[in-house]
């Protein structure tokens, strides 16, 4: 394995802002929904006693290989699963870091992925994405959260040092919400 992967400042800042008030030193069951090397590394660092199920879409070798090459083995299990169909177990925390903009990449509708995400039994659910991404509807995120009895308990915007330039988005900042199930 090459040098250990260190996530960019903006991602670490977002995780500190969203999870800074939580007890991060106790064992927690965590789902990294749409796992990538950045979110997985930050979850392992933020919740050192936690156990993480790192879920990628089946066959998404871009993310699977990136994790295998960049994140040392640790307290996580790498799994392939379509989140639109639910996950079949409960978690303390679910994190969707830059997941929603990729819904259509694998043939899912944004609404289906959003419904699947908010149907996962958990106490806390974090959603982090680019507000500039036309594929991500944050108003729909808030409506779906409310429909599933989640309330926002924290929100944060973090500006990027340089814009992210993708096929369908130029991202200047990240928007994150931490929801709690009531």
pTM: 0.94
Question: At residue 110, what are phi and psi to the nearest 5 degrees?
Answer: -55, -45
Structure tokens at 141: 């995120």
Count the alpha carbons within 13 Å of 13 in the hemisphere toward its beta carbon: 12
Give the model's pLDDT for residue 164: 94
pLDDT at residue 1, rounded to an integer? 47
- What does DSSP assign to residue 67? H
Angle, CA of 112, 120 and 21, to the nearest 5°: 120
Q: What is the pLDDT of residue 104?
A: 82
Domains, the chain, ordered by start: 9-181 (3.40.50.150)
How many other C-beta atoms are found inside a 10 Å radius of the C-beta of residue 19?
21
Query: Chunked in runs of 10, what are the mean pLDDT values of the chain (182 residues)?
Result: 80 96 91 95 95 93 92 91 87 97 85 95 98 96 98 97 92 97 97
pLDDT for 165: 94
Instruction: Note the pLDDT of residue 2.
Output: 57
DSSP string of 36-63, one letter each residue: -HHHHHHHHHH-TT-EEEEEE-TT-HHH
21 three-state secondary structure: coil
The pLDDT of residue 118: 96
Show the tokens assigned to 173.
Answer: 């900042």
Confirm if 23 and 50 have CB atoms less than 8 A apart: no
């Amino acid at each position: 394995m090459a040098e250990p992967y260190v996530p960019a400042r903006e991602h670490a800042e977002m995780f500190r802002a969203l999870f800074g008030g939580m007890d991060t030193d106790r064992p927690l069951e965590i789902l990294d929904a749409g796992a990538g090397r950045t979110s997985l590394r930050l979850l392992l660092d933020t919740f050192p006693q936690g156990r993480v199920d790192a879920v990628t879409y089946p066959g998404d070798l871009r993310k699977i290989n990136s994790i295998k090459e960049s994140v040392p083995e640790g307290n996580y299990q790498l799994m392939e699963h379509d989140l639109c169909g639910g996950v079949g177990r409960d978690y303390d925390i679910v994190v969707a870091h830059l997941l929603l903009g990729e819904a259509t990449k694998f043939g899912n509708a944004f609404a289906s992925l959003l419904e699947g995400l908010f149907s996962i039994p958990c106490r806390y659910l974090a959603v982090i994405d680019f507000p500039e991404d036309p594929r991500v509807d944050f108003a729909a995120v808030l409506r779906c959260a409310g429909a599933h009895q989640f309330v926002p308990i924290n929100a944060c915007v973090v500006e990027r040092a340089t814009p992210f330039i993708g096929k369908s988005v130029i991202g200047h900042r990240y928007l994150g919400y931490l929801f709690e199930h009531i």
